[in-house]
Amino acid sequence: MLITLDESHRPLVYQIRADAEDWLEARDIDQYRRGLDPTVVRANIDREFDAGQFRGWQVDGEVVAVLAIIDPDPELWTPEEIAEPQTYVSRVMVAKDQHGKGYGSAMLKAVEEEASARGDHWIRLNCWSTNYPLHDYYRALGFEYVRTVDIPGRMSGALFQLDLTQAS
């Protein structure tokens, strides 16, 4: 079940993020390791958390995956794209002992259903430009690769979108 996370979940989000860093590093994926200041990362998570943007996928009372629903990044998306009705997701992460159980895709499907019910046309996201297994994951869920935006100092510029106007 998709829930809005509350203050009691903040330490869990920090832990899932730290575990994601370790999981990626163990697979020799450079996401989260190259040039990211941990204090900036935590401040960004706190800002999104304080704004009530974090959601979680709950199974048997336990949050097993999280994401944030945020505003689209104007450095990555055009003004025309930003103006379109959409839900923009970020920080999609699954708890370390829950990988491979379909919780990430179930959580995204629930977000898709909510977005469709609101009349949104898209679910959009950006992800790490060189995390090709993640790109494949989003494609397998029906997301379309849009483009990669190269901004000096940023590695999260691969843009994907899911068209909600097409019948599933």
pLDDT tens, per residue, the chain with 168 residues: 999 999 999 999 999 998 988 888 888 777 766 556 778 888 989 999 999 999 999 999 999 999 999 999 999 999 999 999 999 999 999 999 999 999 999 999 999 999 999 999 999 999 988 899 999 999 999 999 999 998 887 778 899 999 999 855
Residue 32's pLDDT is what?
66
Q: Indicate the pTM of the whole model.
A: 0.91
95 burial (CB, 10 Å; 0-12 / 13-18 / 19+) is buried
**pLDDT at 123 (0 to 100):** 98
d(CA 5, CA 45): 12
What is the domain partition of the chain in residue ranges?
A: 2-163
Q: How far is CA 116 from the centre of its chain?
A: 18
Strands 122-127 and 86-94: parallel
Task: Copy the structure tokens of residue 126.
Answer: 């950006």
Class of domain 2-163: alpha beta
| Residue at token pair 């832990």 | 15
Residue 160: phi and psi, rounded to 5, are: -135, 155
